[in-house]
Amino acid sequence: MDDHTKTIALIVAAGRGERAGAENGPKQYRLLNGAALIAHATLPFLQHPHIDEVMVAIHHDDRALYDQALNNHPKLLDPVYGGSTRQLSVLAGLEELEQRRPKNVLVHDAARPFVDRALITRVLDGLEHSDGALPALAIADTLKRGQNDAVVETIPRQDLYAAQTPQGFAFASLLAAHRKAHAAGRDDFTDDASIAEWFNIRVALVEGAPQNGKITTRADIAEAEHKMTSTTPDIRTGHGYDTHRLVAGDCVWLCGLKIPHNRKLEGHSDADVGLHALTDALLATIASGDIGTHFPPSDQRWKDARSDQFLKHAVNLVEQAGGTITHMDVSLLCERPKIGPLRDAMRKKLADMTQVDVARISVKATTNERIGFIGREEGIAALATATVVLGA
């Protein structure tokens, strides 16, 4: 790709983890619930639909540990060797990525294994209107400056934030800022947002995530292990059903595909029963009513509307609730048209509309053995099931 549209994640993992006790090896390769810490920190980027590629900056001594910790993935680039400070590791990564001409880069600490998809999305959204985006948490505690074990002053906490990663930037701006800082002998920056600030890049604040702390000490590793093993995943399954009447016409809409037919489905919108059933299934996972609650048929705005907007709205609501869609299944019940030859095109359409991997989307169909209203071709029905993991 040569058109400056890519977003690449750069994961920095070249530190030695001294404060976490280096005797068991660098902290980013320690196992947390069966997978290396760095794998937890990297996977959400590999799985995010709007991250195109991921590169990790590693230490020269860690190549074998790295190869063991991360499985091959089509989006994962060869690692780059980092430097003696975090700042130099980021710079090494940016220099290596320059030839790929990305539009944006997200820089993330390998030591933050609790990053999640929603946080990545918030940073990407922040980059829509700013060259920098920083996830941060407002400070809740009162802050004190201390000296010799005694309080010297209280720092007003108003307007103070704790910075997290991933921090997002327009790639060219961040690279220019890093090069200038390096040339100026400034090697004391502890994160990229402060370099951006020094270089006068506007950095938008976006909401951080309380669980997205950095693993720094031995105690942090123990606590993270406890958190990962003790949380029962909140898995939701929702189902949906819809049917529409067949009347005289020349095409039907099913799962987002316009299919020539000698009849059409009657309805206020395009009457796509597949998308309607799936929209209901998704809304059900977060107990958010049904399609009629969100798009009342009495509302003229939805007359002749394309149903993909209903589905996309449900996908957004699931994401806002902290959910990740892990699976969707649609069954179409009709005598005609024949769905088999269209099945993969439908799966692809659904993947495009929902940004869910096509491997997690199933479409199937059955006739009704010529029995009942479906058998007599008076209507078409659809059943759908959606599986969502909340707070993953």
Pick the closer one to ligand CTP by CB: 79 or 82. Answer: 82
- CA–CA dist 199, 188 (Å, integer): 14
Q: Could you tell which of Mg ion, ligand CTP, none binds residue 216, using a CB distance below 5 to 8 A set by kind? A: ligand CTP
Q: Which residue is nearest to ligand CTP (CB)?
A: 15
Site for ligand CTP in 250-289 (CB under 6 A): none
Site for ligand CTP in 8-67 (CB under 6 A): 12-19, 28, 57
Pick the closer one to ligand CTP by CB: 113 or 322. Answer: 113
CB of 213 to Mg ion, least distance (A): 15
Considering the rule CB under 6 A, would residue 384 count as an interface residue with ligand CTP? no
Stretch near ligand CTP under the rule CB under 6 A, chosen from 67-75, 107-115, 154-162, 230-238: 107-115
Pick the closer one to Mg ion by CB: 15 or 102. Answer: 15
Q: Is the peptide bond before 337 cis (omega within 30 degrees of 0)?
A: yes
**Phi and psi at residue 300, in whole multiples of 5°?**
-60, -20
Considering the rule CB under 6 A, would residue 363 count as an interface residue with ligand CTP? no
Site for ligand CTP in 174-233 (CB under 6 A): 214, 216
- CA–CA dist 285, 282 (Å, integer): 5
Q: Is the peptide bond before 166 cis (omega within 30 degrees of 0)?
A: yes
Q: Give the one residue of 37, 80, 110, 134 binding ligand CTP; rule: CB under 6 A.
A: 110
The angle subtended at Cα 188 by Cα 187 and Cα 194, nearest 5°, is 105
CB of 213 to ligand CTP, least distance (A): 11
Q: Could you tell which of ligand CTP, Mg ion, none binds residue 211, using a CB distance below 5 to 8 A set by kind? A: none
Q: Could you tell which of Mg ion, ligand CTP, none binds residue 40, using a CB distance below 5 to 8 A set by kind? A: none
Checking phi first, is residue 349 left (phi over 0); if not, alpha (psi -120 to 50) or beta?
alpha
Tell me if residue 308 falls in helix, strand or coil. helix
In angstroms, what CA-CA distances link 303 with 299, 306, 308, 310?
8, 9, 14, 13
Buried b (16+ CB within 10 A) or exposed e, 24-54: eebbbbbebeeebbbbbbbbbbbebeebbbb
Pick the closer one to ligand CTP by CB: 17 or 256. Answer: 17
Residue ranges that bind Mg ion, judged by CB under 5 A: 15
Site residues for ligand CTP per CB under 6 A: 12-19, 28, 57, 82-86, 89, 109-111, 214, 216
